[in-house]
Structure formats: structure tokens, C-alpha cells
Amino acid sequence: MRKILRLFPMMLLCLCVLTACSSDDGDNNGDSNGKNGVYVINGHKFVDLGLPSGLLWADCNIGASEPEEVGYLYRWGEVEADIVNEGYKFYDGNTYTKYTKKDAKTTLEPEDDAATVLWGKNCHIPTKKEFEELVKYCKWKFADEWGDATITGPNGNHIFLPKITFGFMYRTSSFDTTYPTDECAYSLQLWRENTTVVAGTSRKFSMPVRPVAKR
């Protein structure tokens, strides 16, 4: 009986250590998957906003370490940041060579999607439809007229979209089939009075990318 009593405190200590270890193992980068609506996918944080589709939105742009940072800028369909203004990948000087009315490709393929290439197969650049869902179901609060928007979902969780110093648009992965030529894609226009997905934005313009993912 005395041996059992002497062993009891030690058993309690071991139990506490095991419980603590178990808790740490379930924690990924400080956030358990699903805890407070935050998921870690391929090492990147995504937020569940409570959208009908269940789509998760990254809390940062590609190339940013904080939500307030713009990160890198990309031309449509390119997976390398537009640091040096070289020739556009899908333009040979006369015609567009991919994503045209002729090949009927309307959404970026995985090898041309910066979010998929850089962040992993579960991630992608939002489509026109996915951005439209974000606009329709979330509350948007702007720091000024042209951007720095806090987007709150139906479940109360939120993300932040920073504006860039010389623009207010974000890339979608959707080709603009309504434009007379093959020059344009759809983009999200950040504007307090009229935040919407717009057509007719050049594929050659450099814009930030906010990835999305599915659970």
C-alpha cells in the first residue's frame, strides 16, 4: 500500500507530461487546424469565413509575412514575381499563345497558377466566381476609399486585403472571354463605393495574389 502511495504522485506527473505533449502535437504553427476557424495548409494560414462554398481564404498575400504587407506582384498566368519587367510569358510579340478564344481555356491551369505552384496543390488563385462570393456574403470595411479592406465573413472571422501604392486590384484566375481580344482577365477592384470583380484588365499588369484553399 505504501509503495502505491509513493508511486501515485509520479504517475500523476507522467500523466500531465503526456497530456501536454499531446496538446503540442495537435498544434500546427500555434494554431490547431480548425481552431477559431484557422487552418494551416502547406505551412500557410487560411481562414474559414463561413462562406456557403466552405472556401478558405489565406490570411496573407503571396510573398507577405503579415496581412498588412502587399507581398509580390504577378502578371496573369506567371508564377515568378514581376520584379524585372521582361516579356510576358504568353505573348510572342504578335499574339497570345495560351488562354485564348481559340484554345477555350478560361481558368488558369495548375502549372500557371502562382498559388498552386508556390503554396501547394490544395491552393489556387481565386476564380471570378469565388471573389464574387466573397463580395456578396461578407461585410467590407475600408480604411480609405481605395483599399486596405477588412473583410468579415458570416461567421465573424475576418481577413485583411491591403492595397498597393499604385493600384487597387487583385488577380483572379479567370480569363475574360467578353473582351474583343485575348488581352484581358478578370480582377477584383478594391473600392469602397463599388468593390466588384471587373473585366477588361490587362494580363500584363502586375497585381498581388491572395490564395484560397479547400479543406
> What single-letter amino acid sits at 104?
A
Q: How far apart are CA 101 and CA 194, in angstroms?
A: 29
Q: Which residue has better confidence, 147 or 190?
A: 190
pLDDT in the model for residue 144: 80
Q: Has residue 155 got a pLDDT over 70?
A: yes
What is the per-residue pLDDT for 82?
74
- CA angle (7, 9, 10) in 5-degree steps: 65
pLDDT of residue 9: 40
- pLDDT, one tens digit per residue, over 34-76 is 778 999 999 999 999 999 999 999 999 999 999 999 999 999 9
For cell 492595397, name the residue.
163
Q: Read off the pTM.
A: 0.83
What pLDDT was estimated at residue 193?
A: 78
111-122 pLDDT, tens digit per residue, is 999 999 999 999
Residue 37 sits at φ, ψ, to 5 deg, of 80, 15
Angle at 118 between CA 116 and CA 120, to 5 degrees: 50
Number of folded domains in the chain? 1
The answer to whether residue 169 scores a pLDDT higher than 60 is yes
Alpha-carbon distance of 214 to 22, in angstroms, equals 26
Res 64: pLDDT: 97
Range of the domain at 121: 2-213
pLDDT number for residue 83: 63
In the predicted model, what is the mean pLDDT of the chain? Answer: 85
